[in-house]
Structure formats: C-alpha cells, structure tokens
A and B are shown apart, each in its own frame.
Chain A
Amino acid sequence: MLEIRQLHKSYPIGDSSLHVLKGIDLSVKEGEMVAIMGSSGSGKSTLLNIIGMLDEADQGDYILDGLPIKNLTEKKAAIYRNKFLGFIFQSFNLINYKSALENVALPLYYQGMKRKERLELAMFHLEKVGLADWAKHLPKELSGGQKQRVAIARALAADPKLLLADEPTGALDTKTSHEIMEFIQHLNDEGKTILMVTHEEDIAAMCKRNVRLRDGIIIEDKMVEQVRAQLYV
C-alpha cells in the first residue's frame, strides 16, 4: 500500500538548513491503522505532509499503491490527492460559507462529478457520520465534534485509498475525542487504511500500530493491542 525508503527532508532557515527527516523507512499495508507519534519537532507532521503530497521530499522514495510519487506537477498532485487521499485536520478546515453538505461534496466537485450525483453521494456520507439532519447547516452552527464528523465525511466522499489524520482529536474534549476515535476505528474495521499523527498516548493506543519519531528518525515501530474507544463512550 505505502512504501517509504530513506526519506530525507530539510528546510532552509536563514543561511543554514534544518534537517527534519533523516532517513525514514516505513511500510504500511492495506487495512492498517497507524499512529505516528512524537513530540513537537520530531518531524511527524512533515512526514504526514509528504505522504499527503502537500510537501515533497528532498531524497528517498515514496511509493503509494505502486505509483512512485516524485516530481509531481501541481496539477498531477491535485489529481492524486483527490483520488488517493482523504484528509482529516486538527482544525477541521471546513469552508465556512458552505453548508455541511456542500463541504462534503467539494472533493467530488473537483472530480468533475455532476451536481445532483455528488450531492446525493455527499448526503450518503453525511448519513454515515450521523449528520443527515445537519446537511444544510453552516460549519459555525455545528459543534466541534460535528465539524470533525463533517470533515471525516468529506475525507471519505471520494473513496480514498488512504485516510490521513493530523491530530484529529487535538481540538476536541475527551468525550468527543473518543466518539471520533470510535468512528475512525469503525472505518478501519471496514477496511480503510488509516494513518494518524498524534502526540496523545491514549489516542495512539486506539490504533493497531505505533510508530514513534524523535529528531527525524523512527525510534520505535510496534504493533499494539488495540483499545476500543467504545469502552469509554
């Protein structure tokens, strides 16, 4: 599914440069649920951005579903992101003047799907996250947990191969966090491959595999006994 070999990335800071990723090797199989952990500055977000094609590595190979991701034009990257990846962000990143339904339908718009079709499909995904009644509401009328569920519905709308979550529970209280995690676990049960960045141990424990970064290298990569979020709800 996902194959990363000897990935390097550095950012220029003034005259010198900051070496953020110093040779990452990572392989993720279909159906896995991986938590990438580490303190801030460990390079975990940079790694996720590279996997999400929002950023490009300086060196090393990145192969997604058999496709080498390298030297992409902006246009190509846009198409790949749309086709292969679903994003869930800490701050939801919904478009504030569009209703929940329109937000969910946006990736489908960029796929060139007809309006009627995509609104139907978006509605289906909103129902799945339990927000069918909130379809016409603007993001500001929704609670944090509801916003994140809209964001998840949006990430799922284009049926991506890989779901990328950057601190998906970072802006939510514990109870809501567990609800969201329960939902993500449910998606994983259905076979979705999920990659998540978090620095919270209890959230990481709800994944199936923990990868720990420190100073740009992987210091730990282990399978864990998944804690079901349902127990807390």
Chain B
Amino acid sequence: MFDLDLWREIFQSINMNRTRSLLSGFTVAFAILLFAILFGIANGLQNTFQEAFGTDANNSIIIYPGRTTKANKGLQVGRRIQFKNEDREFIKDTYGDKVQFITSKVNKSVTASFKGEKNDYQLRGIYPEFMFIENNVVKEGRYINQNDINNKAKVVVIGKKVEEELFFKETAIGKYINLSGIQYKVVGVFTDDEGDSEESIIYIPISTIQRVYGNNDLVDFMHLTFNPEMSSAQALAFGMSLENKLKERFDVASSDQRAIRIRNMAQGTQKVDMMTASLSVIILVIGFGTLIAGIVGISNIMIFIVKERTKEIGIRKALGASPRSIVSIILIESIIITAIAGYVGLLVGMGVLELATPVLKDYFIKDPGVSNSLVAGATITLIIAGAIAGYLPAKKASQIKPIVALRDD
C-alpha cells in the first residue's frame, strides 16, 4: 500500500525540521562511514594476504628429496634420495583423482643468448601440467605439450622478462635461442602475475632436459596440486599420507625429517583462512557496535522529536488521527532518516576508500573496496535499524493522550 499523502506528511515534517533531521541522521551516517572504511580496509588486508600467496594454485604440494639422517633397514645415514620419472607415475597410480595435476621437475642454470644478447636464466624441465600448477598464462604461441615430451623436442617456452631482455622489440616466437651451445626453438611466451622473477624462467620439456643433460631419467623434485574439493583437513591428511608412502618407497625411517620433505600449501591456506575469518568477525563486531550506537542515537533524537511534537500529535488525534497513522508517521520518518543518512555515509565511505587506495597500498592494503552485496545488505540492515530506532518513540507517540497534549501551559 502506497499512501502518497502519508509520504507528503512525512516529507513535510522532515523538511520543516531540517536541522533536527540532519543532526539525527549524522550519527548513523558516521556509523556507516566508519563501518564502510573499516570493512574496506579489512578487504584490502585480505587481498594483500591473497596476493602474498600469489596465484600459484594454493592447493599445491612440493616434494623435495634430501639426504637421510637416520639409518634404516640396514642402509647408511647420509644416503641421497633421488626421484625418477617412475615416481610420478607411482603417485598418480596410488592417489588417483586425489591428485589434480602433477609434474616432475629438473632445474638447471643456463646462459641463454640470442644474437648479441646474453644472460643467465633458470631452465626448468617440466610436464605440460605445470602450466596449471604455476598458473602461467600464455601470452603468445603455446605452452609445452605432450608431443614435445614424447619427441624430446628441442623447444622452449620463455618468460616475458626473458623475451624483453633478449629479443627487445622483436617477437621471440619461431626464433632459435642458444642455451649453453644448443639451439632451441621458442614456441611460446608466458606471463606470471607473481612478477619478474617468475617471468625470468625458461621452460623445456622434461624429457629433453633429461636427454641433453646426462641422458637419464632423474628428477630434482615433484610438484602437484591436490583435488581442490578437499577440505584443508583432508588436504593435510593427504600430505601426511603422501610423505609416509614415499618414505616407505625409498626405505626412509618414518621419523627422518630430512630425506623427503613435503611443503603443503594447505598449511598456509589454513592459517590465512583462520586469520581472515577472525578479521571478518572483528570487523563485523565493530561494525555492528557502531551501527547500534547509531540506532541508539536516532532513537534518542526520535524520542526527543516525539516530545517536541507532543502537542501536534495531540491535535492530530483530536482531529481523528488513528494511533496507527501516528505510529506510521514516526516510524517511517525514522526509517527514511536512517536510510538516507546511512546511504550518505556509505557513499562517503566508498569515496574515501577510492581516494585513499593509492596511499593505502604502501601499508599493505590492496584494492580496499565495498562489494555490491554489502551495499544491498546494508540497505536492508538500515531499514531494519530505522524501524528499531523508531519503534519505541512511535509507540510512545501513539500513547500520547490528546487531553494531556492539548492542555494549555
């Protein structure tokens, strides 16, 4: 039911008492302003955390071999653990779809040259799956593919930084790059939003690197991502199991901490999740606290307004206003003031965040912002808040006895 006359009455009353309405709105506007800024900063902190962990798949696990520190099954201390190609197959077969992507890696340092330019880079022998584990984005050309692996093709995919340093303005695709005396065809250029160091890398099919550097099937370490549907607890358990299985496979004592090491991102993710969750709780508590303070403020002023308007309400009642129409007037007035003031606060808060973004970046707060869903949520909250703030005063107003209100004193 939309009663135009009721709204006319309300806007007339708000308009006639502009200062009063403004003052009562101020508390709420301020509360929402604070809330928006706090929320934005918290968001920014969260973004920073996320960035710190990069866009590397945060479900990744890296397995490093080392030397044994404990004698086991008649084997000596100090034995070096060496992974081979078959270990990748072993993990794939053992864990099935718990493993999303898996690659073995062989790392070398090389001097790369093209025409007169020369520089040292890391060369990584990998499987095509590595693209998804590392979240590399192909900028031009293609990534290493299975054909390259099968054919031990002499092809490389270079980082954007490598292209910039060796090829200047030229396009690198199709050119031959010299790595420690052997020519490789550049088939792709990739980017990685983790920055320069991750873009100063040259990828090569693992089969090629194994052939060229020693003609063996040895592997430096393995890198995998677990099924992202696993909870962090499941992921941690998976990491433990993986470690135990590999220790068994390589006859390593289960208490040996150095022979096979596993770096499970789930550990970090869990911590970050906990931290951001507690941050959200703190922000919500502060936000609600300020909002409640705002509601109390509005409520107070509305009570004062009712007191001030006692006579007017008495007159209205004498002229035939029903208690309900009195309640509507006060309640809707309160809701309107709260909602408008709240929105102003929200807009100002968003504006402040927008302006402060470049400054805040220096304080580890990235892209602070307020989401659309929050704005929608805030709208509903504000209307409810206005209703709560107006309820008591409205109730009080409806109970005013005209005879008391009209007494001449």
Contacts and interface: CB of A to CB of B under 8 A. Distances in A.
Interface in A97-123: 97-98, 106-107, 109-111, 115
A74 B320 contact: no
Interface stretch (A83-91, A126-134, A181-189, A219-227): A83-91
B320 A158 contact: yes
Contacts of B311: 93
B interface, by DSSP: helix, strand, loop or mixed?
helix
B319 interface: yes
Interface in B272-323: 311-312, 314-323
Contacts of A94: 315
Interface in B366-407: 398, 401-403, 406
B403 A78 contact: no
Nearest to B399: A74
B320 A111 contact: yes
B111 interface: no
Contact of B403 (A54, A93, A111): A54
B193 to A, nearest CB: 61
B353 to A, nearest CB: 39
Nearest to B403: A54
A107 B322 CA distance: 11
B321 A78 contact: yes
A97 B17 CA distance: 9
A74 B406 contact: no
A110 B322 contact: yes
Interface in A51-67: 52, 54-55
Contacts of A142: none
Contacts of A82: 319-320
A47 to B, nearest CB: 12
B1 to A, nearest CB: 12
Contact of A90 (B321, B324, B408): B408
Contacts of A208: none
B16 interface: yes
A97 B13 contact: yes
B403 A107 contact: no
Contact of B406 (A83, A93, A96, A107): A93
Contacts of B321: 78, 110
A54 B402 contact: yes
A81 B320 contact: yes
Classify chain B: how many residues form its interface, as a range: 20 to 34
Contact of A154 (B16, B312, B319, B401): B319
B72 interface: no
A49 interface: yes
Given A55-B403, A90-B408, A79 B322 contact: yes
A49 B403 contact: yes
A78 B12 contact: no
A223 B5 CA distance: 46
A90 B409 CA distance: 12
B406 A75 contact: no
B322 to A, nearest CB: 5
A78 B322 contact: yes
A54 B401 contact: yes
A54 B320 CA distance: 11
B325 interface: yes
Contacts of B398: 74
A95 interface: yes
A97 B12 contact: yes
B36 to A, nearest CB: 34
Contact of B319 (A49, A55, A74, A106): A106
A82 B322 CA distance: 10
7 contacts: A54-B318, A55-B401, A79-B322, A94-B315, A107-B319, A109-B5, A110-B321
Interface of B: 4-5, 8-9, 12-13, 16-17, 311-312, 314-325, 398, 401-403, 406, 408
Interface of A: 49, 52, 54-55, 74-75, 78-79, 81-83, 87, 89-91, 93-98, 106-107, 109-111, 115, 154, 158
Given A54-B406, A87-B319, A154-B319, 6 more contacts: A74-B322, A82-B320, A93-B318, A106-B319, A110-B320, A115-B5
Q: Which 7 A-B pairs have the closest CB atoms?
A: A82-B320, A97-B16, A110-B320, A54-B403, A107-B319, A78-B322, A93-B315
